[in-house]
Amino acid sequence: MNKGREQDINNPCNTIGAHLAKVSLNSTDPVLKINGRYRRFTPREAARIQSFPDDFILMESEAQQYKAIGNAVPPVLMWHVTNEVIKAIRKTDKKLLDSNPYRTKEEIRSYNMSKIRSKDTKIELILRKALWSKGYRFRKNYKELPGTPDIVFKSKKIAVFCDSSFWHGKDPDGSISRIKTNKSFWENKIRKNRERDSKINTQLRKDGWTVLRFWDFQITENTDSIVKEIEKFL
């Protein structure tokens, strides 16, 4: 339907074919009308339309250049397609995600964070088992309360948190000293975790809850004493 029509430079270009060297007004190939005269696109103009950068070197004769450009998949198009394929594969193939060497630092950090357990951690299981053996019954990972307490005695309004000394900043300076890279990022994250914990404590206590927080090393080294501490409020 576009035969014999010049290319409107304000509209999407007609298809860049592999035979622009033989373009004519009787074809569907794009032609330009400059000062009342028709001309074909130069190889460089055709390459620009196909999204090749200007520093891309065009080789061989003009006929060969037109052929190569027309047969090529536009680089920018291929970049978008490839990235979408990579995203789709990463969502379905965890092994590939683990070994993928092309992830950005942000993607690697996000993936590593996703692998860290936020519930049913070792210290939570230890404390729950000890309480359960004493005959106490409770809710776990109670999402109806701010901060999703790890153990909740709803009738007594007691919320128990099992905190990692690293992530929740028992010794912020000590935690940061263990980090080898991106110290500023992790320092900021640990600081925000501490601020968040403080806000959660304030909100729960305002609502009439008893808030008990125990560090990981306290639970693993002195489980019985932690249970006795909780029993004081039951």
Which of the 8 DSSP states describes residue 10?
T
Cα gap 14→96, rounded to integer Å: 39
Please write the tens of the pLDDT for every residue from 178-217.
Answer: 666 677 777 888 888 899 999 999 999 999 999 999 999 9
- Separation between Cα atoms, residue 64 and residue 71, nearest integer Å: 11
* Domains identified in the chain and CATH numbers: 20-71 (3.90.120.10), 75-114 (no CATH), 122-231 (3.40.960.10)
> Residue 214 phi/psi, 5° resolution?
-130, 140
Taking only the tens place, the pLDDT of each residue in 80-118 is 999 998 888 877 766 655 555 556 666 655 555 555 555
Max mean pLDDT range (16-20, 96-100, 141-145): 141-145
How far is CA 60 from each of CA 22, 68, 89, 212, 219, rounded to the nearest angstrom?
16, 10, 38, 76, 74
Q: What per-residue confidence (pLDDT) applies to 59?
A: 92
Q: Tokens at residue 88, please?
A: 């789709």
